[in-house]
Structure 1
Amino acid sequence: MAKKPIQSDSKEQNVSFENALSELESIVARLESGELSLEDALNEFERGIQLARQGQQKLQQAEQRVEILLNGNSDDAALAPFNPDAE
C-alpha cells in the first residue's frame, strides 16, 4: 500500500469536524484490517491521533460557544467572536 504523506498542521486546522471524523473512521478500518505494514500502521495511527486531538479541540470550542450563548442575559447580551486563546 502506498504511504500517505502526513498533512501539515495548517491544513489540519482547516479540516471540518465531520471530515476529520470520517477520515478517522477510515483509518480505524484500515488498522483493523490487519493488512498494513508496521510502518504504514504507525503512520495511520499517528494521523489518527492528530485527528482525534483536533476533533476534541473543536468539540471543546463548540461547547464553550454554546455555554457563552446560554449563560448570557438575553436583554443585554452581545455576541462577540469566540477567541479560544484568550484563556
Structure 2
Amino acid sequence: MATMNVSLPDNLKDFVQQRAKSSDYSNPSDYIRALIRADKQRAAEEKLEQALLIGLSSEPSTPVDNTFWERLNKRASKLS
C-alpha cells in the first residue's frame, strides 16, 4: 500500500481524529480511505447518470419489441 501525506489545518485534523474514534474506523487513515471510496462511488454514479442522460436525449433508434428480438435471434442462429 502506498503512503500519501496530506497537510490539514488543526481544526480538520482534530475533526478527522474525532470521527475516526467515534466511528467504526480503527484509525484516521481508515476514515480517509472510506471517504475516498465514497467519493469514487459518487464519481462512478455521476458518470453513469451522464451516459444515461446522453442516451435519453439521443435520437430514437430501433425499437426493442418482438420483431427486434426475432431478427436478433435469426442473426444469432446464422452465426452458430
Q: Tell me which structure has the larger Cα radius of gyration.
A: 2
Given the two structures, how large is their TM-score scaled by the length of structure 2?
0.46
Structure with greater helix share of residues:
2
Given the two structures, how large is their TM-score scaled by the length of structure 1?
0.43
Instruction: State the structure with bigger RCO (CA 8 A, min sep 6), 1 or 2.
Output: 1
